[in-house]
Chains A and B, each alone.
Chain A
Amino acid sequence: MIKSKEQERAKKAWELANSVSVGIIDKYSSLAKSAPVMILTNGLGQTLAFFISKSNGKNEYTLLYRHINEWLDDNISWTPNNEIGNDLIEKVINEKSQIYRMVTEETLAFLSWIKRFATALTPDTKEAAE
Chain B
Amino acid sequence: MFKEAKVMFIYTETSLHCGSGTSLGVIDLPIQREKYTDYPVCQASGIKGVVREWFDNKYGERDSKIKYTFGPDFGRGDSEAHAGAATFTDGRLLLFPVRSLNSVFAYTTSVFALSRLRRDLEMAGESVGWKVPAESDKILGVSESKVKTGDNKVVLEEYTFDFQLDEGVKAIAEWIASNAIPQGDEYNFWRQKVKTDLIILPEDAFGDFVKLSTEVQARIRINNDTKTVDKGALFYEEALPCDSLLYSVVMAHDPACDNAKRPTDLQDSTDVMKFVSEIKSKRLQFGGDATIGKGIVNVNFLNGR
Contact = CB atoms under 8 A, between A and B. Distances in A.
Contacts, number: 45
Interface residues of B, number: 22
A57 B13 CA distance: 47
By secondary structure, the B interface counts as: mixed
A108 B213 CA distance: 13
Nearest to A128: B232
Interface in B185-213: 204-205, 208, 211-212
Per DSSP, are chain A's interface residues mostly helix, strand or loop, or mixed?
A: helix
B212 A130 contact: no
Nearest to B209: A101
Contacts of B159: 97, 100-101
Interface residues of A, number: 19
Interface string A99-127: 01100110010011000100000000001
A22 interface: no
Interface of B: 24-28, 157-161, 204-205, 208, 211-212, 216, 218, 231-232, 234-236
16 contacts: A37-B236, A40-B26, A43-B157, A43-B158, A45-B158, A97-B161, A98-B204, A100-B158, A101-B204, A101-B212, A104-B212, A105-B212, A108-B26, A112-B25, A127-B231, A127-B232
Interface of A: 36-37, 40-41, 43, 45, 97-98, 100-101, 104-105, 108, 111-112, 116, 127, 129-130
